[in-house]
Amino acid sequence: MFYLSRIEHTLRVPPSLLNLPILDAIKGELEKLFIDKVVANLGLCISVYDIRSVDGGFIFPSDGAATYKVVFTLIVFRPFTGEVIIGKVQESNENGLRISLGFFEDIYVPVELMPSGSEFTPDENNGGRRRWVWIYNEVPFDIYESDEIKFKIHSIEYPAILVEQPKESNSKFPMEEKPKESINVKPFAPMVITASLDQDGLGPVSWWDGSGEAEDEVEEDS
Amino acid sequence: MKILEANAGPLTNFEVLDFLRSKGAAKDPTRVLAKVLPSEYKVFDYLNRTPACNQTREAVIAFVEKSKEYDLAKAEILNIINLRPITPVELFPIIENCDVRMGEEATERMEEMGSMVEHVFPTPQIQPTLEATPNEGNEAETMEEQEGAGDAVEEPIQTT
């Protein structure tokens, strides 16, 4: 799920940071640049692990800042295909589920990767709000929002940045408005994970822990 | 920017959590004084809710040693350390092709592996780590305390 990645970068350290020890200044600048951002084909940068080397310190003409060549190691979040992870259901709609890990929220389970025999049906106990139900041997298993859920990584994509943004998402806070607006208008996500629930042992954690019935069924299956 | 080495080694959840702790993420209840970024706290909070919250370096090493007899791939070992599966159902999605690879007595082998995982890694205790984050609402705090009190009874089992 997490990896170390070695990166070389030509870093501009503004003169306002000259009063700091050089490694602290560089680390701060690296954190500003990389942390909580996605690098395509590398993953989501979590933390600066260490700084391997600092070279140079050249001041370009007509620029007041020193420019260093820095080699450093980052901790990145990049799950591998087939990895099993636990997250929380954040949203469910007719296109499937959206799962959040707290620090990363662009994990989608499309309809075709839901457990086979799943239906998106109204919930009588919850005022007719629809939710996903897996029907196994005519026994319904519900997936509620905010359930702890186990999923398997199916694929990871790094979509290219859109040249023209869709008009609706130009508003100032696209994330907050999203649930109210039409669901088609999603904010741009630089890393999208497609997950699968279609295997025994996957799905909400409560389906599989302890209670004997569900487990027995699976053992017969496998 | 130049990527010299995209994969300079995988990390287990425990190692990332250990790194964040060493930065002081657990010590600072205000979350302002420590040099830990808000996004790092999000990762820290997530990892604190996983079985990694009370793993130790020794336990991870012991597990890697013991898992050799099951002929697992590195990714599978990593996944087992991160999730701490203790029943065959939990192990099943992690191990690829497990019916074929585990041979005829697959169920027995999986059960054996599950109890080995349970033995090596102590049962995660979620409550104490949550108490270290008092910036949640007062109501949540009192509830945690009540649960924590219930858990105190179970504690001696863990220390043995």
Instruction: State how far the alpha carbon of B34 is from the alpha carbons of A74, A123, B20, B23, in Å.
Output: 19, 45, 11, 8
Return the CATH number at A151. Answer: 2.40.50.140
Are A75 and B39 inside 8 Å of each other by CB?
no
Please list every residue in chain B whose beta carbon sits closer than 8 Å to the beta carbon of residue A2.
10-13, 15-16
- Predicted pLDDT at B155: 42
Are B37 and A71 inside 8 Å of each other by CB?
no
Q: Of B1, B10, B98, which has the smallest distance from its Cβ to A7's Cβ?
A: B1
pLDDT tens per residue, chain A (222 residues)? 899 999 999 999 999 998 999 999 999 999 999 999 999 889 999 999 999 999 988 999 988 899 999 999 999 999 999 899 999 988 888 888 889 998 998 999 988 888 888 888 877 776 667 888 888 887 888 888 878 899 999 999 998 887 776 665 555 555 554 454 455 556 788 899 999 988 888 888 888 775 544 444 444 444
Give the gap in angstroms from C-alpha A47 to the nearest C-alpha of chain B: 7
Q: Which two tokens stand for residue A173?
A: 């806070």
**DSSP assignment, residue B137?**
-
Residue where a domain terminates, one of A59, A77, A95 = A77
Overall domain count for chain A: 2
The residue type found at A136 is Y
The residue type found at B114 is G
Q: Are residues A61 and A41 in the same domain?
A: yes
Residue where a domain terminates, one of A77, A105, A133 = A77
Integer Cα distance of A54 and A29 in angstroms: 13
Q: Are residues A124 and A174 in the same domain?
A: yes
CATH of segment(s) B57-120: 1.20.1250.40
Range of the domain at A34: 2-77
Are B93 and A200 inside 8 Å of each other by CB?
yes
Return the CATH number at A73. Answer: 3.30.1490.120
Please list every residue in chain A whose beta carbon sits closer than 8 Å to the beta carbon of residue B40.
35, 46-47
Tell me the CA end-to-end span of chain A in Å, nearest whole number.
26
Q: Are residues A61 and A156 in the same domain?
A: no
Residue where a domain terminates, one of A62, A77, A92 = A77
- The answer to whether B67 and B95 are in contact (CB under 8 A) is no
pTM of the model: 0.76
Q: Are residues A46 and A146 in the same domain?
A: no
Q: Are residues A109 and A47 in the same domain?
A: no
- Predicted pLDDT at B115: 85
Neighbours of A10 (CB within 10 A): 13
Q: Is residue A124 part of a domain?
A: yes
Q: Are residues A112 and A161 in the same domain?
A: yes
Provide Rg for chain A, Cα atoms.
23
Question: Considering only CB atoms, which residues of chain A are within 8 Å of chain B?
Answer: 1-9, 31, 35-36, 39, 41-42, 46-47, 49, 71, 73, 75, 77, 80, 82-86, 101-103, 150, 152, 199-202, 208-209, 215, 218-219, 222
Q: Are residues A144 and A72 in the same domain?
A: no
Q: Are residues A14 and A31 in the same domain?
A: yes
Integer Cα distance of A95 and A104 in angstroms: 20
* B4, containing H or E segment: strand B2-5
Integer Cα distance of A189 and A191 in angstroms: 6
Range ranked top by mean pLDDT from A136-145, B49-58, B125-134: B49-58
Are A201 and B40 inside 8 Å of each other by CB?
no
Neighbours of A147 (CB within 10 A): 19
Q: Are residues A61 and A103 in the same domain?
A: no
- Domain spans, chain B: 13-54+123-130+138-150, 57-120
Q: Is residue A217 part of a domain?
A: no
Are A82 and B6 inside 8 Å of each other by CB?
no
Q: Are residues A53 and A92 in the same domain?
A: no
Query: What is the ipTM for the molecules in this complex?
Result: 0.78
H helices of B23-137, where? 38-48, 57-66, 74-83, 88-91, 98-101, 106-120, 126-131
Q: Of A5, A102, A152, which has the smallest distance from its Cβ to B7's Cβ?
A: A5
Residue B94 has pLDDT above 90, yes or no: no
Confidence band, pLDDT 50/70/90 cuts, at residue B1? confident
Are B6 and A80 inside 8 Å of each other by CB?
no
Please list every residue in chain B whose beta carbon sits closer than 8 Å to the beta carbon of residue A83.
75, 79
Integer Cα distance of A192 and A207 in angstroms: 26
